[in-house]
């Protein structure tokens, strides 16, 4: 029998964006005390261990050490959340047409500067009923994880302002560049009411040029509620082939796409999902 899920909070904005600093100070005071009392053979490994924890929190994309992060949708229904990063790009119109052809919806995590360069594409994404998220303003791929507080604040705020000015609606969701979020991302997320989104299924389509291999990797992570990471505009130019193949596989496997949103819309989505699960539990179909 299918389990009915409890109602969770999908849209989790950081509540205590500076808590990490308190933890850091306390941990280093503890390290200093150990070093003072027991010497470097204990103090040095303790210092390295505490630093390793903070580094892990930055480098692991779905780490919630510095801020809450949504990794998958809480449902046992055969649904997935398609997320498409790095646009808008020259491929965006074709991406939209592919999604329309399969009756699929996606959230586009867009770059502020690219949205300003192609505002008509951003408006078209919204017009066709897709979601739009914040993916930084200039996409500093090599050093986003190492940005200081002022630079991080600008990356989030400038993208938020650009997207809002073009579409008239402020995004609810944020995805860190390359998924890596350092401690300084929490404060601007709280300021702008943004919640971090990671993923649970990816195929490395931003770098891998073989659509079959990419979709095979994505399929390994597919399950009810999976958040699928895709990209547009990659240098290899085969993102459209990846999307087309993935949409065919999702159709064949019986998966539908959903757009979970914030606030009341999230409540409505969760309520509909619970109702569907209750119906399935009461009237299960024939065994496969």
Residue 80, φ and ψ in degrees, nearest 5: -135, 155
Tell me what pLDDT residue 274 has: 58
* pLDDT for res 201: 98
**Residue-level pLDDT at 272:** 57
The residues annotated as belonging to the active site are 85, 231
Q: What pLDDT is recorded for position 4? A: 29
Q: Who contacts 284 (Cβ-Cβ below 8 Å, separation ≥6)?
A: 1, 2
pLDDT value at residue 268: 53
Contacts (Cβ under 8 Å, ≥6 apart) of 225: 72, 73, 74, 75, 76, 77, 79, 80, 81, 200
3-state SS class at 181: coil
Which pLDDT score is estimated for 277? 54
Task: Give the total residue count for the chain.
Answer: 288
> Would you state the pLDDT for residue 162?
98
- Under 8 Å between Cβ of 189 and 67: yes
Within 10 Å of residue 66's Cβ, how many Cβ atoms?
A: 22
Q: Considering the domain 69-275 in this protein, what is its CATH number?
A: 3.20.20.370
Task: Render each residue's pLDDT in the chain as its tens digit; 288 residues.
Answer: 222 233 457 899 998 888 888 888 888 999 899 899 999 899 898 899 998 888 888 888 888 888 899 999 999 999 999 999 999 999 999 999 999 999 999 999 999 999 999 999 999 999 999 999 999 999 999 999 999 999 999 999 999 999 999 999 999 999 999 999 999 999 999 999 999 999 999 999 999 999 999 999 999 999 999 999 999 999 999 999 999 999 999 999 999 999 986 444 444 555 655 565 566 555 555 444
Domain spans of the chain, in order of start: 19-59, 69-275
CA angle 48, 18, 134 (to 5 degrees): 105
């Amino acid at each position: 029998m299918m389990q009915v899920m409890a109602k969770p909070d999908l849209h989790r904005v950081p509540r205590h964006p500076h808590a990490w600093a308190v933890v850091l100070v306390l941990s280093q005071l503890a390290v200093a005390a150990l070093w003072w009392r027991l010497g470097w053979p204990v103090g040095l490994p303790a210092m390295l261990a505490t630093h390793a924890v903070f580094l892990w929190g930055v480098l692991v994309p779905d780490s919630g050490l510095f801020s809450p992060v949504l990794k998958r949708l809480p449902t046992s229904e055969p649904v997935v959340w398609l997320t498409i990063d790095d646009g808008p790009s020259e491929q965006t119109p074709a991406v939209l047409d592919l999604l329309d052809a399969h009756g699929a919806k996606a959230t586009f995590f867009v770059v502020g500067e690219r949205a300003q360069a192609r505002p008509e594409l951003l408006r078209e994404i919204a017009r066709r009923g897709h979601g739009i998220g914040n993916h930084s303003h200039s996409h500093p791929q090599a050093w986003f994880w190492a940005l200081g507080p002022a630079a991080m604040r600008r990356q989030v705020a400038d993208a938020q302002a650009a997207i809002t000015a073009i579409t008239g609606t402020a995004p609810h969701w944020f995805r860190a560049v390359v998924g890596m979020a350092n401690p300084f991302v929490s404060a601007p997320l709280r300021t702008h009411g943004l919640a971090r989104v990671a993923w649970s299924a990816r195929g490395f389509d931003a770098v891998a040029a073989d659509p079959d291999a990419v979709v095979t990797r994505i399929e390994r992570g597919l399950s009810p509620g999976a958040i699928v990471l895709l990209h547009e505009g990659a240098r290899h130019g085969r993102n459209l082939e990846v999307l087309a193949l993935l949409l065919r596989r999702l159709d064949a496997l019986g998966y539908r796409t959903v757009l979970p949103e914030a606030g009341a819309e999230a409540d409505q989505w969760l309520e509909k999902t619970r109702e569907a699960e209750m119906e399935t539990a009461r009237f299960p179909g024939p065994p496969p």
